[in-house]
Structure 1
Amino acid sequence: MAVTRKVRRFSGGVCDLGLHVVWCPKYRRPVLDGRVAQRLDELIRQKADEHGWEIVTLETMPDRVHLFVRHDPKSSASYVANQFKGFTSRVLREEFPHLKSRMPTLWSSSYFAASVGAVSAATVERYIDTQWERPQKKRERGVP
């Protein structure tokens, strides 16, 4: 399956930044189901809209959340993850009191984040390593 590159324009540049973020409830408790899961989905989309981030895909499972989001170049992986975790924790614990009584906090303090792109790391490495082999670069260096 081919991945379509979708670049976003910002002042001073163009980027294609994607992030796969995974986080879990405290003690990996399976509390993300039914109305809680539905509301969590709404809140994540609301927070993404607020920041101008694009949700590519979102999967809420009873004991974890998988999110693929495209974000701006000024937002670090930790900022993106913590924006979603902090906001959703506060709202969900207000709206669903059972989430307060069963756990000291809604989310585990950790998360997983990996950059996602249409080009693999090996492709980028090969591209950089072969820059001087390209005809226009050889001419710039004075090599016929």
Structure 2
Amino acid sequence: MTTIVDVADYILNKYGTMTTMKLQKLTFYAQAQALAVTGHPLFEEDFEAWKGGPVSRALYAKHRGMFLIHPGELTGTSPQPVAKREEAIIGSACDSLSALTGNQLSRRTHSEKPWQEARGDALPNAASSEVISKESMRRFYADNPIV
């Protein structure tokens, strides 16, 4: 199965250098699009409801300490190509969202139910490692298309 690193590598190669915050949010929205459209995830890795928005620990481990990330810079990885069908799903979510900044994408996730539900009663600046459920993402984005 495709991994989050495979998807992140594809996004970096297609859309170019970006902040790690933006990369995290674009991979989140690619996953959300797959769940909404097909009912199945692009990858198994989860996102947590961090104060800055959804973050995958698996992806974070590959770019920790970086602010900007360039194509080919995901550390310690050998990404595999994504399938054509997956490219179409990623593109349908990211083609328009890639024009937004990481901060704009973060604010957007904060206004959406999957992140809010996972955060629960956590204070705005409180740390959280609560998982954003794939089912919550599927339900919300099926009813509220990403683009």
The answer to whether TM tops 0.5 is: no
The TM-score bracket by the shorter chain reads: 0.3 to 0.5
Normalized per residue, which structure has more helix? 2
Query: TM-score, normalised to structure 1's length?
Result: 0.35
Structure of higher RCO (CA pairs closer than 8 Å, 6+ residues apart) = 2
Tell me which structure has the larger Cα radius of gyration: 1
TM-score (norm 2): 0.35
More strand by share: 1
